[in-house]
Amino acid sequence: MVRAVFLDRDGVINRKMPEGRYVTSWAEVQFLPGGAEAVKRFHEAGFLVLLVSNQRAIAKGLVTRHGLESLHRRMWQELFRGEKGFDGVYYCPHDADPPCGCRKPQPGMLLAAAQDRGIDLTASWMVGDSESDVEAGRRAGCRTIRIGLLDVRFSTSADEVAGSLQEAANIILAMESAAGPIPTCH
C-alpha cells in the first residue's frame, strides 16, 4: 500500500500572498518554519510527499509554465538543501472559470497522482490552508487537515486542524503510530 501526504504550497510551505496576488518570483518566496523537517518526517514514516497547488497566475499571464517550474526548482533547492524533497509536484494552471477537473476543490490533481504512483487515497492525507484544499482531499477519499486557523470559531469540514505544517505532521504521525503497523501481503 502506497500512502501519501498531499501538501498545498501557498500557506503551507511558503507564505501566502494577499488576496489577488500570486507568488511568481523568487523575491516573493518566504518559507514558513518547519516545512523541510515535516517533509523529512513524512518520508521517514514511509509516506510519499506530493505538492498539489492551484496556480492560476499562469492563466492570468503573470508567469509561464516554464517560469513556475524554474521557481519551484529554486524553491526546492533552497528548502531541502540536497535532502529528499517532494516526490512529485502537480499544479493546475487554469483560472476558476471555466471550471476544470484539476483545480481544487476538484480532486483531479490528487487522482492523477494516485494513478501515476499507485497511491491508496484512503490511507493518505491532504494538508492545506483553505476549504478548497480540504474539499479536494475529501472528494479524493483522503483524510484532511486544515492548517493556519487562528480563530477557533471558524468552521471547517477538515478531519483535523493544525496551526502549522509541523503540527500537522505531529497529528498525522501520532495517528499513524496509534493505528499500529501496516499489514503487508505475502
Nearest to 125 by CA among 112, 140, 142, 102: 142
Residue 186 in any domain: the answer is: no
CATH number at 124 reads: 3.40.50.1000
CA-to-CA separations, 135 to 16, 28, 36, 52, 107, in angstroms, rounded: 19, 27, 25, 13, 8
Q: Is the pLDDT of residue 139 over 80?
A: yes
Whole-model pTM? 0.93
Residue 13 in any domain: the answer is: yes
Residue 155's Cβ-count burial label (10 Å; 0-12, 13-18, 19+) is exposed
Active site residue 10: yes
pLDDT for position 152: 42
pLDDT for position 184: 43
Where in the sequence is the domain holding 151, given as residue range(s)?
3-179
Q: Catalytic residue among 10, 87, 129, 133, which?
A: 10
Give pLDDT tens digits for 150-181: 664 467 889 999 999 999 999 999 998 876 55
Residue 185 in any domain: the answer is: no
Residue 88 in any domain: the answer is: yes
Per the structure, the count of domains in the chain is: 1
CA-to-CA separations, 155 to 44, 50, 131, 136, 150, in angstroms, rounded: 32, 26, 10, 17, 11
